[in-house]
């Protein structure tokens, strides 16, 4: 590939395209599970592709990682044990390591090569992986979760789209298994796609979550490299509401948020206020 070439991701049944001008192809390999590529682009910086689908980029990696970690952390009174499923780039783990009261952070990533490639090309994302509290499990998330009971305060499902081997991460059975792996007051966070281009049936995803959890809410944040950018996330909880921020944690967050690139407490409060299309589509 040369300077003149473009990367295109086509989505929404092949009818929508996101394109970025390529500066350089930095890496390409075929792992046991998928094609892994890293390209440097003009508009979004370094971009990690799995089977040619956009995963992580310099331009917005902090949004996804900050909003999936700090939202549940701020509404759970005592987070000791965290599990991140998927997310081999390490960005979500990095955000959890910023909280000194968390005791263990398990990362389950089926493809170890994603972690290694991320260490090489996205060191700003993987910097948290060497924290002594982090335990990396190179295994299948669905199998792993079935073996755990009453163990985690927060589980983040950092998955790809609901197709191929990630499809199982959007089922009622999976959400029930996550529920069982959580303690009695646990919280699950998951990415739930774009409601304008509703290719995978967002209502069904939310209905599946509702079968497993008594409290299910949705919030949004921009993901520039994902189809349609306006991205939704699920907040499923056994006990805590997403806007009941723990007062004792506010002073430390007020300091931390000065160093963050997206998350702040005001934004947290606004992120659950949904436009009608988003609300209606998820059945809220």
CB of 43 to a copy of itself, least distance (A): 4
> Rounded to whole angstroms, how far apart are CA atoms 94 and 89?
10
Cβ distance to a copy of itself smaller for residue 59 or 166:
59
Q: Count CA atoms within 13 Å of residue 38 on its CB side.
A: 18
Count how many Cα atoms sit within 13 Å of the Cα of residue 219 in the half-sphere of its side chain.
Answer: 21
Task: Spot the catalytic one: 89, 158, 185, 198.
Answer: 158
Identify the burial level of 201 via C-beta atoms within 10 angstroms of its C-beta, where 0-12 means exposed, 13-18 middle and 19 or more buried. middle
Query: Annotated catalytic, 51?
Result: no
Q: Which is nearer to a copy of itself, 134 or 221 (CB)?
A: 221
CA–CA separation, 20 vs 225, rounded Å? 9
Rank residues 214 and 270 by Cβ distance to a copy of itself and give the closer one. Answer: 270
DSSP state of 2: -
Q: How far is CA 19 from the centre of its chain?
A: 22
For a copy of itself, give the closer residue by CB, 136 or 243. 243
Residues at the contact surface with a copy of itself, assessed by CB under 8 A: 6, 8, 10, 12-21, 41-44, 59-60, 63, 196-197, 221-222, 224, 228-230, 257, 260-264, 266-277, 279
Instruction: Write the DSSP string, 124-172.
Output: HHHGGGGSTTEEEE-S-HHHHHHT--S-EEEEEEE---SSGGGGGGGSH
Q: How far is the CB of 146 from a copy of itself (least distance, A)?
A: 36
The angle formed by the CA atoms of residues 83, 30 and 131, to the nearest 5 degrees, is 30
Beta carbon of residue 243, minimum distance to a copy of itself (angstroms, whole number): 10
Q: Which is nearer to a copy of itself, 43 or 283 (CB)?
A: 43
Q: Least distance to a copy of itself from the beta carbon of 6, Å?
A: 7
The CB-of-178 to a copy of itself minimum distance in angstroms stands at 27
Q: What amino acid positions are annotated as catalytic residues?
A: 158
């Amino acid at each position: 590939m040369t300077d003149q070439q473009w990367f295109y991701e086509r989505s929404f049944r092949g009818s929508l395209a996101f394109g970025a001008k390529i500066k350089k192809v930095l890496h390409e390999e075929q792992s046991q599970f998928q094609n892994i590529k890293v390209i440097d682009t003009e508009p979004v910086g370094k971009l990690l592709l799995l089977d040619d689908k956009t995963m992580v980029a310099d331009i917005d990696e902090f949004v996804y990682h900050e909003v999936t970690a700090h939202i549940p952390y701020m509404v759970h009174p005592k987070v000791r044990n965290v599990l991140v499923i998927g997310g081999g780039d390490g960005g979500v783990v990095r955000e959890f390591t910023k909280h000194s009261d968390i005791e263990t952070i398990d990362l389950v990533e089926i493809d170890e090569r994603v972690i290694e490639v991320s260490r090489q090309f996205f060191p700003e994302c993987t910097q948290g992986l060497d924290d002594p509290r982090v335990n990396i499990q190179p295994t299948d998330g669905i199998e792993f979760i079935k073996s755990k009971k009453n163990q985690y305060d927060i589980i983040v499902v950092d998955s790809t789209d609901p197709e191929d081997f990630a499809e199982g991460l959007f089922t009622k059975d999976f959400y029930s298994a996550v529920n069982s792996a959580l303690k009695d007051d646990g919280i699950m966070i998951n990415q739930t796609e774009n409601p304008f281009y509703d290719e995978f049936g967002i209502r069904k995803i939310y209905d599946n979550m509702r079968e497993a959890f008594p409290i299910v809410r949705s919030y949004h944040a921009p993901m520039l490299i994902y189809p349609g950018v306006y991205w939704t996330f699920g907040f499923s909880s056994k006990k805590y509401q997403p806007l009941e921020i723990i007062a004792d944690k506010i002073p430390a967050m007020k300091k931390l948020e000065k160093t963050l690139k997206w998350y702040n407490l005001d934004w947290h409060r606004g992120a659950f206020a949904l436009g009608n299309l988003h609300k209606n589509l998820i059945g809220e």
